[in-house]
Amino acid sequence: MSDRQEPGQDHEPRHRHGPSPSHEQPRGHRHERDRHGHGHPDALSRHHGRLRHLLTPHSHETADKVDSALESSARGLRALWVSLAVLGATALAQAVVVAVSGSVALLGDTVHNAADALTAVPLGIAFVLGRRAATRRFTYGYGRAEDLAGVVIVLTIAASAAFAGWTAVDRLLDPRPMNHVPAVAVAALVGFAGNEWVARYRIRVGRAIGSAALVADGLHARTDGFTSLAVLLGAGGAALGWQLADPVVGLAITAAIVLVLRDAAREVFGRMMDAVDPTLVDRAEQALSEIPGVRAVGELRLRWIGHRLRAEVAVVVDGGATVREAHRVAVDAEHALLHAVPRLTAALVHADPEPAPGEQDPHLPLAHHAAA
């Protein structure tokens, strides 16, 4: 039997169906009925339930990994440091050409490449923080540090757009000739190759581990690659004697950066607002509806914590079911969710009794809290 782990709890083994550290709350499908007064299994029943989970052979094909959260963080860190080295070398090579050519378009491209390389630092810090265990203060762990890193990345893209735009406008007002045009053209091609490789690598790994910040960083690098190609146009115009070609291309690069800024900001903002792909909700509802004993699926919520998902769901069960039977349905429901929803690491399953004619809503005592 393998151990699943929460984001930010990678150091500690956890129960197959939920966290077990003493500083965390008990698992939802075991005590959520207590939360709403639907039943209170005694200590012996709870102990028996834990022993049954521990002793029953169990396997999750795609989710049955040793320390999957730690593994995904390690992949993210590896992607960051490799791309940092590639972009750092690319920016350094371009900076040498900028110094001898005076190309403002290439300068904007170089600054953007350097900024893109440096975004690996806050994102790397976020991945390291995300591997820390949850505490009594940060009960969900530190996975949301990735969202903060995403904000830093967006601000970095905005700053590079402002710098590139200001430099291009300055050169439009004070045109100067470009020197060493062939070297600028070669540097532009180097910039495109380096950025496109890094973009593909970051986006692939980011999507594989569910990191919106890493995907945003990959999109950032991809735009840098296309702006490097735009520098070729500036070099071609300069070779034909059009002095304004270089600053005009610089402005075009600025516009391209702004477009990336918009996409990256939308991605990061959505993650901070707990946005998820609606198809994940559909998959979760479909999986729950197929569980024997689930009469209906009530409220279902998914949220990202770093690059791992958590779920909270209410399912309707037979109103005459015993506590043990309701608990079994809740366990089966969580089990199905872990298989059906990619990168889901835990689910809090609440069992509601199917309403009987004339029966008072068991949640009525909570109504005034919901209204508040």
* pLDDT digit string, tens, across residues 243-289: 777 778 778 878 878 887 888 889 889 988 999 999 999 999 999 99
Q: For residue 72, what pLDDT is reported?
A: 67
CA dist 73 → 78, 146, 220 (Å): 9, 11, 20
Residue 162 has pLDDT above 90, yes or no: no
**Under a CB-based contact definition with an 8 Å cutoff, are residues 338 and 60 in contact?**
yes
**Under a CB-based contact definition with an 8 Å cutoff, are residues 56 and 15 in contact?**
no
Going by pLDDT thresholds of 50, 70 and 90, the confidence category of residue 83 is confident
Residue 312 has pLDDT above 90, yes or no: yes
Task: Determine the length of the chain.
Answer: 372
Give the integer Cα–Cα distance in Å for 295 and 318: 7
Helices (H), the chain: 28-35, 43-55, 68-101, 104-118, 120-130, 145-173, 181-209, 212-239, 245-272, 278-289, 323-340, 367-371
**Under a CB-based contact definition with an 8 Å cutoff, are residues 21 and 135 in contact?**
no
CA dist 299 → 5, 35, 50, 131, 316 (Å): 24, 16, 26, 30, 10
Mean confidence (pLDDT) of the chain: 76
DSSP states along 179-217:
P-HHHHHHHHHHHHHHHHHHHHHHHHHHHHHT-HHHHHH
Residue 42 has pLDDT above 60, yes or no: no
pTM (whole model) above 0.85: no
Q: For residue 283, what pLDDT is reported?
A: 95
Query: Which residue(s) pair with 347 in the sheet?
Result: 311
Higher pLDDT, 76 or 200: 200
First to last CA, the chain: 44
98-122: per-residue pLDDT in tens? 888 877 778 877 877 787 777 778 8
Residue 27 has pLDDT above 70, yes or no: no
- Stretch 163-172: mean pLDDT: 79
The amino acid sitting at 187 is A
Joined together, the tokens standing for residue 44 give 């012996």
Higher pLDDT, 241 or 336: 336
Joined together, the tokens standing for residue 78 give 């590896």
Residue 25 has pLDDT above 80, yes or no: no
